[in-house]
Amino acid sequence: MQVLQGKNLLRIKETNQSAILRMIYYYGPISRSDIAQRLELTLPTITTNINKMLGEGLIKETFIRGKAPNPSGRRAHPLYINQQACYFGGVELKNTNWSVCVTDFGGRILASAEGVCPDGDYDNFIWQIGRDFTACLAESGKKLEELCGIGISLPGLVDREKGILKINSRYRWIERDVCSDFARLTGYQGKITLENNAIARGLSAQLFNWDEVENGKSFAYLVVSAGIACPLFLNTSSYRGSVVDAGEAGHMVLDPHGRLCICGNHGCLEAYASEYAIINDCKKEMEQGRAGILREISKERQELTIADIVQAQEAGDLDVCRIVENAIYMLGIAATNIINFAGPDIMLVDCQLFKNASNRQLFLDYTQSSRGNPVHFKYFKTTLSFVDSDRFIGALGAAAVAIDEKLEIVM
């Protein structure tokens, strides 16, 4: 976290307030003296800013019974975030699905909802999300004017400053004014922040699972969904978000003469290991009379899902096992390339396939073991950790974008 010194007093004040609030958010309960030491600020500066935040209700202090007075003669009162100080909304669009939630300042979900829009029509998507977010807000017991911000995340290239989706290749959505459209449908007049969904999920890890990433100077967040991305975050910088933007790992070319990818290139990782690729490979097997267990599992379903595929794999469907193992092998190559190039201290892996323990172990074998395996990473001591995702991890990630915005702009 960065603190400033110089002649621009207003900018210095804003930046220092943000750094102090982030310190309390990440490390609280924490004492004033610890904050001063970590940020290399004077205690009077810390006290002035803390008193302002206490007055605004952003933070609280707790009295520890029996604790000895500090050198100033005052008893130390550790500080922590007031989770009820602010409320936020989160919206994620992913594949043909969407999810929404309302959270408190600490990321606790108060209400949530989800749905499907299979036709991929933008106007239909936004209308459904606006309608159901309004219902979700009512369920949470909060009102629009109580929200301190809303985050919206989705795959593709986004212009965060303007709130515009530049392009989503799969649906061919181009130059969509997502934030304005959502505000018009919901009536929300506050701050709406748009972000790529892989970056949003990484921010969620940084804010709500700090204990998993705090020991690394950097961490990568590998997301495997309809596409594949791997943003890279720094833990020693004031820079917000990923230093490589969304980190479009899905378009890493693994075989120049391989499958045609949606981007127009051949042999991209996404063409072999994305959820779309895995599902399509399994559909082809079923169409040819194979993958019998998967056909039985999915016969009552309108759409085949990754959860169906993992279930069939666990039940011993050999055709499905072959497809899944090949996808994991490709993911292992990609993860190894990222680690060998960027050397993150930690890599978090967010992929539904890895809800299966044997799939996790296979991925670890490909990336960390040299037993007959040509792709393992060799020079870095990167810790691999699997994200235990649920249905609303994406909406929570979007809310994290709005919370992160609040932490940046305290005044």
Mean pLDDT of 292-307: 91
Query: Cis link prior to 374 (omega < 30° from 0)?
Result: no
Tell me, what's the pLDDT at 374? Answer: 53
What are the sequence ranges of the domains in the chain? 9-81, 87-203+393-408, 217-386
Mean pLDDT of 248-270: 94
Other Cβ atoms less than 10 A from the Cβ of 255: the count is: 13
Could you give the CA distance from residue 176 to residue 166 in angstroms, rounded to a whole number? 7
Long-range contacts of 102-108 (CB under 8 A, 24+ apart): 102/136, 102/137, 102/139, 102/140, 102/142, 102/147, 102/399, 103/396, 103/399, 103/403, 105/58, 105/81, 105/403, 105/406, 106/81, 106/208, 107/204, 107/207, 107/208, 107/396, 107/399, 107/400, 107/403, 108/83
Residues with Cβ within 8 Å of 300's Cβ and at least 6 positions away in sequence, in order, are none
Tell me, what's the pLDDT at 16? Answer: 87
Other Cβ atoms less than 10 A from the Cβ of 196: the count is: 26
- Whether residue 380 has pLDDT greater than 50: yes
217-386 is classed CATH 3.30.565.10: no
9-81 against 217-386: fold identical:
no
Say what the pTM is: 0.90
Could you give the CA distance from residue 194 to residue 154 in angstroms, rounded to a whole number? 8
Q: Quick one: pLDDT band at residue 411, thresholds 50, 70, 90?
A: low
Could you give the CA distance from residue 292 to residue 288 in angstroms, rounded to a whole number? 10
Identify residue 173 by its one-letter amino acid code: W
Q: Quick one: pLDDT band at residue 372, thresholds 50, 70, 90?
A: very low
Q: Is residue 337 within 8 Å of 374, Cβ to Cβ? A: no
Least confident of 33-37, 131-135, 373-377: 373-377
Other Cβ atoms less than 10 A from the Cβ of 349: the count is: 22
Q: Quick one: pLDDT band at residue 369, thresholds 50, 70, 90?
A: low
Give the single-character DSSP code of 253.
B
Q: Quick one: pLDDT band at residue 274, thresholds 50, 70, 90?
A: very high
- The residue whose two tokens read 């267990």 is 293
Mean pLDDT of 49-56: 93
- The residue whose two tokens read 């004077």 is 42
- Whether residue 309 has pLDDT greater than 70: yes
Tell me, what's the pLDDT at 37? Answer: 92
Tell me, what's the pLDDT at 180? Answer: 96
DSSP string spanning 320-376?
HHHHHHHHHHHHHHHHHHHHHHH--SEEEEEEGGGGSHHHHHHHHHHHH--TT-TT-
pLDDT tens, 340-358? 889 899 999 999 999 999 9
- Whether residue 8 has pLDDT greater than 80: no
What element of type H or E holds 39? helix 32-39
User: Hey, what's the torsion of the CAs at 151, 241, 28, 20, to 10 degrees?
Assistant: -100
Tokens of 86: 């602010």
In this structure, CATH architecture of domain 87-203+393-408: 2-Layer Sandwich (3.30)
* Average pLDDT score, the chain: 89
pLDDT tens, 158-186? 999 999 999 888 788 999 999 999 999 99
Mean pLDDT of 243-248: 90
Other Cβ atoms less than 10 A from the Cβ of 6: the count is: 7
What element of type H or E holds 116? strand 109-116
Could you give the CA distance from residue 61 to residue 70 in angstroms, rounded to a whole number? 15
Q: Give the percent of the chain with pLDDT over 70.
A: 90
Tell me, what's the pLDDT at 118? Answer: 77
Mean pLDDT of 380-409: 91
pLDDT tens, 103-162? 999 999 999 999 988 778 899 999 999 999 999 999 999 999 999 999 999 998 999 999
3-state SS, 180-240, equals: HHHHHHHCCCCCEEEEEHHHHHHHHHHHHCHHHHCCCCEEEEEEECCCEECCEEECCCCCC
User: Hey, what's the torsion of the CAs at 392, 397, 401, 404, to 10 degrees?
Assistant: 110
First-residue to last-residue Cα distance in the chain: 17
- Whether residue 217 has pLDDT greater than 70: yes
Tell me, what's the pLDDT at 381? Answer: 83
- Whether residue 214 has pLDDT greater than 50: yes
Tell me, what's the pLDDT at 271? Answer: 96
Task: Tell me which CATH code domain 9-81 carries.
Answer: 1.10.10.10
